[in-house]
Amino acid sequence: MSAGHAVIVVLTALLTGTIFNAETIEKTADAQKIGLQRDIALFFIRPLARTSKTFGLHIPREKLEELFGQDDDLTSSLQDSSQGAQNKTPEPHTPENTSEEEPKEKPIPSWALSNIIWVGGDSTMIDPAPALARLLDNNPDTEWTIFAQAATGIVRSDYFDWQKKMEQEMESHNPRVVVIAIGANDGQAIPDQTLANPQRGHLSFASNEWKAEYAARVGKLMDFLSSEGRPVLWVGQPVMRDKKLNEKTRLINKISKAEAKQRLHVTFVSTQALFTDKNGHYSTYLNDKQGAKRQMRMADGIHLTQAGAEFLARHLLPLTLDKFHSAPTPRTSETSPPIPAAR
């Protein structure tokens, strides 16, 4: 049989089947949802259905259905489903609430419920930290805890790890304000064993690699201390008598100040002008607030005397209390009791 004959046979069979089943097809088309597709289907099938009924062509199909126990359940099901869809009352459309929801109040961080002020740092804070604590004793709202460790810094984390130490301090005391000074001992190379990739070798002081690494370490500590909005006062190093050491601390202050500037809750407190004479130079003796000349610096030209420590503490006190009282507070009196300070 040729391809043309095969096509004719297939079309003839389809047409014959359509004529014999025209009545059923008409019912199915009539059950469709009212619309253009239904109208087109009925336009073509109704003439065939009438012809089928006129000549009784639907009778053989009905006899076969009775013989095999089939009926028009499928057609009835389709018709009922379609009519049900047409007769179903559409649910009312509820417009979306486009108005902005009022933002929920953020919970008060636990540190804000504390009345503790943490004060400390490297050897330059050994005397100023207790001096500030004594001034805080005059404020009944505040408690304090202090920690200072000589010969430490951020560079030599293999000797003393300030990041780890401060994590312990924050967990133990959860202070409301942190006052910290680190950097006097950081004017040196960063050892390779303290780097994430020791194969880089040690980083020479003031090299570009050193600056980037030091800034990253300072920033990491600042981020941790100021997490959840805790206010941090990062106290810069004072002017040093030795010119070479002074240049180093100036770079350290510059990096620390830049990192603090990038963080909303960290404030860099410069102390350079506090300990210079009227010409901006290092001076062992300076006038206090009462105008009396006092020895402010120790013989090493680095650390502060007791008078110098008290002078710095008086400068830090209003800044510290301002941060303390600017912390968020609960709107009700039903809050957790203040965390006791460890002195």
87-131 pLDDT, tens per residue? 445 555 555 555 556 666 778 999 999 999 999 999 999 999 999
Q: Which residue has the tokens 């001992």?
A: 185
Query: How many distinct structural domains can be found in the chain?
Result: 2
Q: Tell me, yes or no, whether 27 and 174 share the same domain.
A: no
Task: Identify the domain containing residue 165 by its residue range.
Answer: 110-325
Q: pLDDT at residue 21 above 80?
A: no
Whole-angstrom distance, CA of residue 84 vs CA of residue 212: 73
Q: What is the CATH number of the domain that holds 164?
A: 3.40.50.1110
E strand intervals along the chain: 116-121, 143-148, 177-181, 232-235, 266-269, 285-287, 293-295
**pLDDT band with cut points at 50, 70 and 90 for residue 70:** very low
Q: pLDDT at residue 277 above 70?
A: yes
The confidence score (pLDDT) of residue 328 equals: 79
- Select the more confidently predicted residue: 262 or 88: 262
Q: pLDDT at residue 143 above 60?
A: yes
Q: Tell me, yes or no, whether 42 and 160 share the same domain.
A: no
**pLDDT band with cut points at 50, 70 and 90 for residue 43:** low
**pLDDT band with cut points at 50, 70 and 90 for residue 61:** low
Is the residue at 167 inside a domain? yes
Is the residue at 229 inside a domain? yes
Q: Tell me, yes or no, whether 73 and 142 share the same domain.
A: no
Is the residue at 60 inside a domain? yes
Q: Tell me, yes or no, whether 127 and 29 share the same domain.
A: no
Is the residue at 342 inside a domain? no
Outline where 233-272 has alpha helix (H): 243-261
Q: Tell me, yes or no, whether 70 and 174 share the same domain.
A: no
Of 99-108, 143-152, 171-180, 325-334, the one with minimum mean pLDDT is 325-334
Phi and psi (nearest 5°) for 341? -85, 150
Looking at 80, 99, 127, which one is the last position of a domain?
A: 80
Stated pTM of the model: 0.67
Is the residue at 89 inside a domain? no
E strand intervals along 78-229: 116-121, 143-148, 177-181
Q: Tell me, yes or no, whether 150 and 23 share the same domain.
A: no
**pLDDT band with cut points at 50, 70 and 90 for residue 80:** very low
Is the residue at 30 inside a domain? yes
Q: How many CB atoms lie within 10 A of CB 218?
A: 24
**pLDDT band with cut points at 50, 70 and 90 for residue 199:** confident
- Select the more confidently predicted residue: 73 or 54: 54
Q: Tell me, yes or no, whether 76 and 115 share the same domain.
A: no
Across the chain, mean pLDDT equals: 82
Is the residue at 240 inside a domain? yes
Q: Tell me, yes or no, whether 74 and 118 share the same domain.
A: no
Q: Tell me, yes or no, whether 224 and 134 share the same domain.
A: yes
Phi and psi (nearest 5°) for 53? -70, -40
Q: Tell me, yes or no, whether 136 and 284 share the same domain.
A: yes
Looking at 80, 96, 130, which one is the last position of a domain?
A: 80
Q: pLDDT at residue 68 above 50?
A: no
Q: Tell me, yes or no, whether 28 and 162 share the same domain.
A: no
The confidence score (pLDDT) of residue 18 equals: 61
Q: Tell me, yes or no, whether 243 and 114 share the same domain.
A: yes
- Select the more confidently predicted residue: 55 or 320: 320
Is the residue at 204 inside a domain? yes
291-325 pLDDT, tens per residue? 999 999 999 999 999 999 999 999 999 999 999 99
Q: pLDDT at residue 333 above 70?
A: no
